[in-house]
């Protein structure tokens, strides 16, 4: 059994968290090159941490050895969200998954948010439009709050979600002075207000998801509200907007006209496009586990109490599995990589993967199909800086502007 390449340095001074959080992708790329391998050691959050950038080691970590590498119950998510299933032992996920059968008119949300993209004739910031779409989706679906029926409540909750989100990404220092409070403390206040609204909904609304969640036999009365807080938070709209932005960019311009036509007419091709979008631009950088006992990953010793972080961006570009890893090639999913969706980890993997990929998939297809049926689009201006930032949720650092024009198909639909 070999030692992990790299080193964890000394406590505190050897910590690389800042460098990692500034640009996790470059951090990993440099080390993959230096160590000539996709699993290596560093020090993150002041703990020796193995970074996993290969498909093989990701599968071992999240699937085969999921009972040896456990989620960390003490991370920042717990501060801001309380004990949700993301941080606790996962038993409640089975119960929550039963609530998936909700009737919700996705089309009308897409119609409301996307129908005016070409009206002004001016380039649009797709990312902002998609974030609004994602927010309408989660508030409608999980809380029965629809923007068109209760605009004031909708705006109030959206604002609280944004403030709460800023707490997640600010320093966890809770300070309140008469004329000033830290971002973290303001975020905790927003969380309390959101929890009041959620508890009220759980008690009084018997319809839809919130209604069925209210009647689930969860272990204590608080846990349904904690789960809902996670579901309606800005995290999911941002992840949806990230994927829709990457989709828009991947299929933009004259040169992708044929790909747009195929995606519009062939649902299997659209499916392959979306797999390729999540492979190249996963919304979340990855996930973290702690070694419960001495164990191994890709043949390297990982001692008890080490952290392990999988980096989806790098796993998805592992050349052992994905040839021409940096190229956008939807056809790979009907060729060499057919049936290998389980080698992706944009939604995690194994027993503690995300519970939302099916819902996300239905939603994304609806939104993408709406765009494809109604619009052609291209970057405007054509030359823009499309460099991605990867944390906290991936997207081009400067959200690009895009011109949408009505397609021939849309005109014939309308007539």
d(CA 104, CA 140): 8
Coil vs helix vs strand at 28: helix
Report the DSSP pairing between strands 47-52 and 307-311: parallel
Q: What is each CA distance from 181 to 106, 175, 234, in whole angstroms?
A: 39, 6, 21
Q: Which residues between 285 and 324 bind ligand HEM (CB under 6 A)?
A: 287
Specify the stretch interacting with ligand HEM by CB under 6 A; choose among 115-123, 195-203, 239-247, 252-260.
239-247
> Quick check: 93 binds ligand HEM (CB under 6 A)?
yes
Q: Which of 231, 269, 375, 404 binds ligand HEM (CB under 6 A)?
A: 231
For residue 118, the number of C-alpha atoms closer than 13 Å in the C-beta half-sphere is: 13
Burial of 200 (0-12, 13-18, 19+ CB in 10 A): exposed
Is 235 or 329 the residue whose CB approaches ligand HEM more closely?
Answer: 235
Q: Which of 80, 236, 329, 372 binds ligand HEM (CB under 6 A)?
A: 236
> Quick check: 90 binds ligand HEM (CB under 6 A)?
yes
Site string for ligand HEM, 242-281 (x = CB under 6 A): -x--------------------------------------
Q: Which of 253, 356, 392, 399 binds ligand HEM (CB under 6 A)?
A: 356
Q: How far is the CB of 84 from ligand HEM (least distance, A)?
A: 7
Q: Which two tokens stand for residue 394?
A: 């991936």
Do residues 282 and 340 touch, judged by C-beta distance below 8 A? no
Q: How far is the CB of 126 from ligand HEM (least distance, A)?
A: 16
CA trace torsion 49, 51, 55, 61 (10° rounding): 10
Q: Which residues between 27 and 86 bind ligand HEM (CB under 6 A)?
A: 71, 85-86
Report the DSSP pairing between strands 286-291 and 69-70: antiparallel
Task: Please report the DSSP string for 244-278 in residue order.
Answer: HHHHHHHT-SGGGHHHHHHHHH-HHHHHHHHHHHH
Site string for ligand HEM, 326-355 (x = CB under 6 A): --------------------xxx---xxxx
Q: Which two tokens stand for residue 19?
A: 């460098």
Specify the stretch interacting with ligand HEM by CB under 6 A; choose among 8-16, 176-184, 235-243, 301-309.
235-243
Q: How far is the CB of 93 from ligand HEM (least distance, A)?
A: 5
Q: How far is the CB of 275 from ligand HEM (least distance, A)?
A: 13
Positions that interact with ligand HEM (CB under 6 A): 71, 85-86, 90, 93, 231, 236, 239-240, 243, 283-284, 287, 346-348, 352-356, 359-360
């Amino acid at each position: 059994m070999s030692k992990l390449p790299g080193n964890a340095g000394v406590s505190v001074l050897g910590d690389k968290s800042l460098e990692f959080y500034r640009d996790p992708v470059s951090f990993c790329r440099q080390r993959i090159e230096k160590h000539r391998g996709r699993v290596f050691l560093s020090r993150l959050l002041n703990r020796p941490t193995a970074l996993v950038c290969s498909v093989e080691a990701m599968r071992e970590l999240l699937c085969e050895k999921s009972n040896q590498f456990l989620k960390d119950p003490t991370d920042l998510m717990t501060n801001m969200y309380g004990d949700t299933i993301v941080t606790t032992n996962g038993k409640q996920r089975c119960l929550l998954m039963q609530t998936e059968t909700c009737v919700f008119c996705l089309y009308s949300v897409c119609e409301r948010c996307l129908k005016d993209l070409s009206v002004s004739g001016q380039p649009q910031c797709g990312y902002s439009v998609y974030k609004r779409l994602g927010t309408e989706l989660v508030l409608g679906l999980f809380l029965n709050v629809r923007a068109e029926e209760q605009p004031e409540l909708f705006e109030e909750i959206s604002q609280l979600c944004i403030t709460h989100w800023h707490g997640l990404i600010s320093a966890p220092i809770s300070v309140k002075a008469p004329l000033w409070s830290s971002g973290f403390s303001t975020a905790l206040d927003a969380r309390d207000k959101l929890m009041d609204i959620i508890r009220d909904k759980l008690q009084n609304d018997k319809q839809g998801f919130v209604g069925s969640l209210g009647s689930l036999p969860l272990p204590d009365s608080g846990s349904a509200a904690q789960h809902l807080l996670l579901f309606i938070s800005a995290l999911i709209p941002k992840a949806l907007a990230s994927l829709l932005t990457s989709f828009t960019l991947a299929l933009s311009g004259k040169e992708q006209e044929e790909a747009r036509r195929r995606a519009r007419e062939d649902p299997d091709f659209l499916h392959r496009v979306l797999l390729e979008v999540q492979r190249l631009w996963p919304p979340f950088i990855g996930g973290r586990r702690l070694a419960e006992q001495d164990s191994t990953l890709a043949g390297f010793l990982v001692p008890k109490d080490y952290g392990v972080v999988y980096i989806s961006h790098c796993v998805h570009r592992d050349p052992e599995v994905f040839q021409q890893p940096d190229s956008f090639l939807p056809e790979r999913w009907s060729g060499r990589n057919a049936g290998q969706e389980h080698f992706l980890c944009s939604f995690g993997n194994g027993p503690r993967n995300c519970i939302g990929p099916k819902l996300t998939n239905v939603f994304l297809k609806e939104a993408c199909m709406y765009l494809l049926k109604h619009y052609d689009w291209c970057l405007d201006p054509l030359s823009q800086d499309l460099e991605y930032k990867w944390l906290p949720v991936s997207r081009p650092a400067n959200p690009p502007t895009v011109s949408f024009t009505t397609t021939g198909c849309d005109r014939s639909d309308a007539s």
